[in-house]
Amino acid sequence: MLGAKAIQTYKENNTKTSSFTWQVPNETSTWDIVVECFKKEREIGTNPAVYLSWTITTSQIIEVPEEGDIQSAIDSLPDEGGVVELSAGTYNPTYTINIINRANITLRGAGTTTWNTELHYPDTSITSINIDNSENIRVEYLYINMTWKGYSSDTGKRGILIGGSSQSISVFKVRVEDTPWGFFTESNSHEYCIQILDCVFYHNKRAIFPMEDEYITIKSTKVYHSFGWSGIDFNSGNVHAVVENCYFYECDVGSVKIYSGSGDVTVKNCVIERSQRFGGVYLFGSQNTGPSKVLNCIIKNGYDGSNGILINGICRNNRIIIKNNIIYNNEGCGIKTEDERYSYPETWYIESNVIYG
C-alpha cells in the first residue's frame, strides 16, 4: 500500500481459516489500519496446499479541520510517516503544501465516491502540492481547484509537482482543475514508479506532463479540455509507461503524445475523442528502450486537421505496434506518417485496425 508502512507480517502454511492478533503501539493516537491477506496456490506435487500471507499496515492519523493548517500537520508526522486526513469542506491555502525529504505519507480528503474536500486557490501564483525527494507518498480523494481559466498570464504553477528523484508516488481519485500544469514531474531528476489512478483532469492548459520518469502507470483517468497542450505529454525521455482504460476529450497537440526520446509506452483500451491538431496519439518518441504500442483504442472525431494516429520522424519509432484500434471520423487521416522527415528505414507493425469516415 503506497503512503503507509507495513510493520508486521505473518505467514503460515495451512488449508484452514487462520487468524492472529496485533496491538496498536499506543492508545493515545488515531490509527489507520489496513490488513491484507494473500493466498498462494500450491505448486504441483508439494504440500501443504495453500500459503497464507498476512500484512498489517498501520499509519498514525492527524486530522485537519476545515481551514486548518495542512502543512503543520504534515510536518508533525513522525519520521516513519503517517496519514494527514482533511475533513469535508473547502480549504483556502495561501501556501504550497510541501512533502520534502519524507517517506510513507498519505494526504487524504474526505469521501470515497465524490470529492468532498476542495483545495481552492484564488491566487494562481501558488503550486498546490509539491512532492520532492520523497518516497512512498499517496495523495487521494482531493479536488484541487486553482481557478486559472487561461485568460490571465500563464503563471507556470502546478496542481501537483513531483521532483528530486522521488519514487513510489501515487495519486488516487484526485480531480485537478483550471491549472497551467495539472501534473508535472521535473526534468532535472529522475522519478520512479509514478501512478495516476482513477483521476480527473479538467480544463488545464497542460494536463499530465511527465519528464524523464521510469515506470509510469496511468489508469482509469479522464482528461477533458487540455486547452493549450496535450492531455498527456511523455516528454524528455520517459520509459516503461502504461496508459490504460483512460478517456480523453478535446485535448490539443495530440491527446497522448509520446515525445522526445520517450519509449516503451503502451496506450491501450482508451477512448480518444475530439483531438485538436496533430493526432489522437502522436508518436514522436524513441526505439531505444523498446517499441511503443497503441492497442484496442477508439480514436474518433478529431478536428482542426487531427489524425487518428500521427507518426513523426524526428525521433526514431522503429518497431512500433498499432493493432486492433477503431479509428473513424477524424478530419485528417486514420494513420499518417510525416514521411518528409524520415531519412532512415523503419519497420512498423500495423495490424487489424478498422479505419473509416
Domain residues for the domain of 264 are 60-356
Contacts of 58 (CB under 8 A, 6+ apart): 4, 5, 7, 24, 25, 31, 32, 33, 34
The answer to whether residue 47 is domain-embedded is no
Within-domain flag for 28: no
* pLDDT at residue 156, rounded to an integer: 86
Q: What φ, ψ does residue 75 adopt, rounded to 5°?
A: -65, -25
Of 288, 240, 223, 298, residue with least CA distance to 268:
298
User: Do the domain assignments include residue 83?
Assistant: yes
Residue 248 lies in a domain: yes
Query: Hey, which residues does 98 pair with through a beta bridge?
Result: 130
Closest CA to 133 of 108, 107, 172, 162: 162
* Whole-structure pTM value: 0.86
Range with the poorest average pLDDT among 81-90, 162-171, 306-315: 306-315
| Predicted pLDDT of residue 1 | 45
- List the single range of 4-13, 37-46, 239-248, 259-268 with lowest mean pLDDT: 4-13
- Give the neighbor-by-neighbor strand order of the sheet with 181-185: 97-100, 129-132, 158-163, 181-185, 206-209, 232-234, 256-259, 279-284, 307-311, 335-337
Q: For 52-78, b where at least 16 C-beta lie within 10 A, e where not — what string?
A: bebbebbbbbbebeeeeebeebbeebe
- Single-letter amino acid, residue 33: I
CA distance 354 to 308: 11
Structure confidence by residue, pLDDT tens digits, 101-133: 999 999 999 988 789 999 999 888 899 999 999
Whether 15 is covered by a domain: the verdict is no
H-assigned helices in the chain: 70-75
Q: What percent of the chain has pLDDT over 90?
A: 63
pLDDT of residue 68: 93
Residue 292 backbone phi and psi in degrees, to 5: -85, 160
**By the 8 A CB rule, do 262 and 237 touch?**
yes
In a domain, 181, yes or no: yes
Burial class (CB in 10 A: 0-12, 13-18, 19+), 31: middle
Cα(286)–Cα(268) distance, rounded to whole angstroms?
Answer: 18
State the Cα angle at 244 between 239 and 248, rounded to 5°: 105
Q: Is residue 101 part of a domain?
A: yes
CATH code, 151: 2.160.20.10
How far, in Å, CA of 1 to CA of 18, rounded?
Answer: 22
Distance CA 32, CA 60 (A): 6
CA angle 237, 239, 245 (to 5 degrees): 120
Rounded CA-CA distance 218/197 in Å is 6
Domain count, the chain: 1
Assess if residue 45 is contained within a domain.
no
Distance CA(297)–CA(1), nearest Å, equals 30
**Average pLDDT value for residue range 278-301:** 90
Is pLDDT of 15 > 50? no
203, 197, 200, 166: which is closest to 181 by C-alpha? 203
